[in-house]
């Protein structure tokens, strides 16, 4: 069973049909929308500021979602995929975004809708990423714009697949409870 912990008077709140892996951790002032998933060894830690997460967000294995005390909360929109071992810290991520594996997004950055942050990229503090952009590198720079085909093929597919994967795990746990 996932570690869901209250701290400083805040208890995480979850929407409908969410999945938390057995060793996922969700702490404090976290509000999560519907059909979200937090995978193995992922941490969502709202102990020093709030974290707000929209609908259909998947936070994959080893990812860390955190914020900065009293200055930089974290807000994640709808239909967002945070890939394995990514760090999302004190920033805003709009709708329909893919944050690649091992990417880092730092305080007060804003990632516009329909964007992709490439694997291993570092988005520096206060960076504003225009909607429909692909950013890569250290520090990350715009390398191209997205298009409808890329967004529907990649972003929608990953989001829908993670809802499906979560269903597999929920079904398996129901079988094991019998």
57-71 pLDDT, tens digit each: 999 999 999 999 999
The domain total for the chain is 1
pLDDT for the residue 152: 77
pLDDT for the residue 161: 94
pLDDT for the residue 105: 98
On whether the CB atoms of residues 39 and 169 are closer than 8 A, the answer is no
89 pLDDT more than 60: yes
Per-residue pLDDT band at 48 (split at 50, 70, 90): very high
Per-residue pLDDT band at 153 (split at 50, 70, 90): confident
d(CA 72, CA 87) in angstroms, rounded, equals: 14
State the maximum Cα–Cα separation within the chain, in Å, rounded to a whole number: 52
Domain CATH for 53? 2.160.10.10
pLDDT for the residue 38: 98
Range of the domain at 169: 3-177
- Which runs of E-coded beta strand occur in the chain? 3-5, 13-14, 19-20, 25-32, 37-38, 43-53, 58-59, 64-66, 74-76, 81-82, 87-89, 92-93, 98-99, 104-105, 110-111, 116-117, 122-123, 128-129, 133-137, 140-145
d(CA 97, CA 116) in angstroms, rounded, equals: 6
Per-residue pLDDT band at 175 (split at 50, 70, 90): very low
């Amino acid at each position: 069973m996932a570690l869901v912990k209250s701290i400083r008077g805040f208890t995480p709140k979850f929407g409908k049909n969410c999945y938390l892996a057995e060793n996922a951790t969700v702490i404090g002032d976290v509000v999560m929308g519907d059909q979200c998933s937090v995978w193995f060894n992922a941490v969502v830690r709202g102990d020093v500021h709030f974290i707000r997460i929209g609908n259909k967000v998947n936070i994959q294995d080893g990812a860390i979602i955190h914020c900065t005390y009293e200055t930089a909360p974290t807000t994640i929109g709808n239909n967002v995929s945070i890939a394995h071992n990514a760090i999302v810290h004190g920033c805003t991520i709009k709708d329909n975004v893919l944050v690649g594996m091992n990417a880092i997004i730092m305080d007060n950055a804003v990632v516009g809708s329909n964007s992709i942050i490439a694997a291993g990229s570092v988005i520096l503090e206060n960076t504003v990423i225009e909607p429909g952009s692909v950013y890569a590198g250290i520090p990350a720079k715009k390398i191209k714009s997205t298009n409808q085909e890329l967004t529907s093929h990649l972003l929608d597919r990953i989001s829908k697949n993670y809802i499906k994967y979560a269903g597999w795990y929920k079904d398996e746990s129901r079988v094991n409870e019998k």
